[in-house]
Amino acid sequence: MPFFPQFSNLFVPPFDPNAPITTSRAFNSSGVQVGSTNTGDIPEAWVQAETTVTSVTFANDNSVTSIGNYAFSGCSALTSITIPSGVTSINGSTFLNCSSLSSVTFLGGVTSIGNYAFKSTALTSITIPNSVTSIGSYAFQSCTSLASVTFTATSSVTSIGIYAFQGTGLTSIIIPNSVTSIDDYAFQSCTSLTTATIGNGVTSIGSSAFQDCTSLAMATIGTGVTSIGSSAFYSCTSLTSITIPNSVTSIGSNAFYDCTSLATVTFTPTSSVTSIGSSAFKYCTALTSITIPNSVTSIGDSAFFGCTGLTSITIPSSVTSIGSSAFSSCSALATVTFTATSSLTSIANYAFQSTALTSITIPNSVTSINDFAFAQCTSLATVTIGTGVTSIGAYAFRSTALTSINIPSGVASIGSKAFYYCGSLATVTCRVAQSAFTGSDAFKYTAFALTIQARSTDASWTAGTGLTFQGNTNVTVIKNL
């Protein structure tokens, strides 16, 4: 006769629906478990690339404190996630390429959002809890549906990493005062972004931070910013005005390059800007005027190149150098004024080439007028060269409308073709010896009959008519100075 054990005395505990869940589990759309953990914490690459995962149940015994790198990366069917309150960091690439993930809820406690954490997800909005202190590099990059990012009023975020929101669908952003740095490319190519407010705690705007935000019409720079990085607002073609607060000391190269709608740039009366970087405002074609503050000492190469709407500019006494092509191709620039106490020492190559200048007075502080400095200023009829000038570069005044020129006695060298193709130049008052003409053809293609007035005591000159000198074959030399 078979033996059957008796279970009448076996104790079976009753089911407790409130009992803590000590493991975390992932399920597919049919409710089938796809992954589970031995403890609450989520290990690295837990269900990475499990494309059927649609839901996750985290342990509810407060044992979930970390979610490992790549834990849910590539879970393309996952649509929402709630981060338990015990989790302090969203690690690198945790939800990378979760292409259907449209909702994330933080229950509190998260202090950092890691690199690539939510890159290329379907998020439409996100609220950064006030516990978060840092947003890592590429954290939300390429979240093309992400239209809204909200920081709490008591936000603790201090840094926004490189490429953090690049290529997202943001329409506006208010960066809290807690943030001290916006890293390079942070909001690059957010083409739907129309307004950006940068908090007063920010000290630096990184390189290309807002580059190619083509809809950005209004940007407010906080009063703590000291530097605007290179290409920070490059090709923000809808930006119409910008105020540079007095905290800013430098404007980086290409900072506002190709901001074709930028009509107004305002510096505060107590501006601290000392340098305007190379190509900083290049191709800002809507810019008609700008007041360069007295704090500026250098204007970089091509700083205002191609600003075709710019009509006048005053160079303050603080400026010591104007870079190559700084105002080149500003085709409407008719007036350039240097202050009486100018500190400018040199006018670089191509600095004012192809402008609409009609006259210019070179201050006495300038020692060199470099190659092509005023070349092809076809309306330039009057030039006064300061007494401090010692060199005039090659092609410096090529193709201008000069009818006469006075070369002061301090000039030691005049480069090749300095006055080449100045077809109306008929009179040169020359207070220098012939040896100062160190190049060739300085007067080639000037007026057919060119008169040079030389010093009566200068033995290097011989009075006469029909002479050949520096490319002109019909020169009259008169020694009457």
- Residues 301-332: tens digit of each pLDDT: 999 999 999 999 999 999 999 999 999 999 99
The confidence score (pLDDT) of residue 20 equals: 61
Cα–Cα distance between 66 and 39 in angstroms, integer?
11
The pair of structure tokens assigned to 452 is 């040079």
pLDDT at 41: 83
Half-sphere exposure at residue 49, Cβ-oriented, CA atoms within 13 angstroms: 1
**Surface-to-core class of residue 225, CB atoms within 10 Å of its CB (0-12 exposed, 13-18 middle, 19+ buried):** buried
Q: Output the six-digit token pair for 300.
A: 């970089």
Q: Is the pLDDT of residue 7 over 70?
A: no
Per the prediction, the chain carries an average pLDDT of 94
Kindly state the tokens that stand for 155: 């936000």
Q: 63 or 25: whose pLDDT is higher? A: 25
pLDDT score, position 18 = 53
Identity at 283, one-letter amino acid code: Y
Count of residues for the chain? 481
Q: How far is CA 341 from CA 49, 315, 366, in A?
A: 69, 11, 11
SS3 298: strand
**Computed over its alpha carbons, how large is the radius of gyration of the chain?**
35
Q: Span 99-112, mean pLDDT?
A: 93
The residue-averaged pLDDT of 454-480 equals 96
pLDDT at 56 over 80: yes
pLDDT over 90 (residue 3): no
- Would you state the pLDDT for residue 109? 87
Kindly report each contact of residues 142-146 with a partner whose C-beta sits within 8 Å and lies 24 or more positions away, as own/partner.
142/166, 142/167, 142/168, 143/118, 143/119, 143/167, 143/168, 143/169, 144/168, 144/169, 145/102, 145/169, 146/170
- CA–CA distance, 41 with 22 (Å, rounded to integer): 10
* pLDDT (average), residues 129-152: 96
Rounded to two decimals, the pTM is 0.91
CB 405 within 8 A of CB 383: yes
Round to whole Å and give the CA distance between 261 and 263: 6
Give phi and psi for 84, each to the nearest 5: -60, 155
- What are the tens digits of pLDDT across the range 362-419? 999 999 999 999 999 999 999 999 999 999 999 999 999 999 999 999 999 999 999 9
pLDDT at 23: 81
In this prediction, what percent of the chain has a pLDDT beyond 70? Answer: 95
User: What is d(CA 80, CA 403) in angstroms, rounded to the nearest whole number?
Assistant: 77
Whether residue 347 contacts residue 371, with contact meaning beta carbons closer than 8 Å, is answered with no
Phi, psi at residue 62, to the nearest 5°? 65, 20
Q: Residue 15 above 80 pLDDT?
A: no
> What does the angle CA 474 – CA 479 – CA 481 come to, to the nearest 5 degrees?
125
Give, in order, the Cα–Cα distances in Å from 273 to each of 284, 304, 477.
Answer: 19, 16, 50
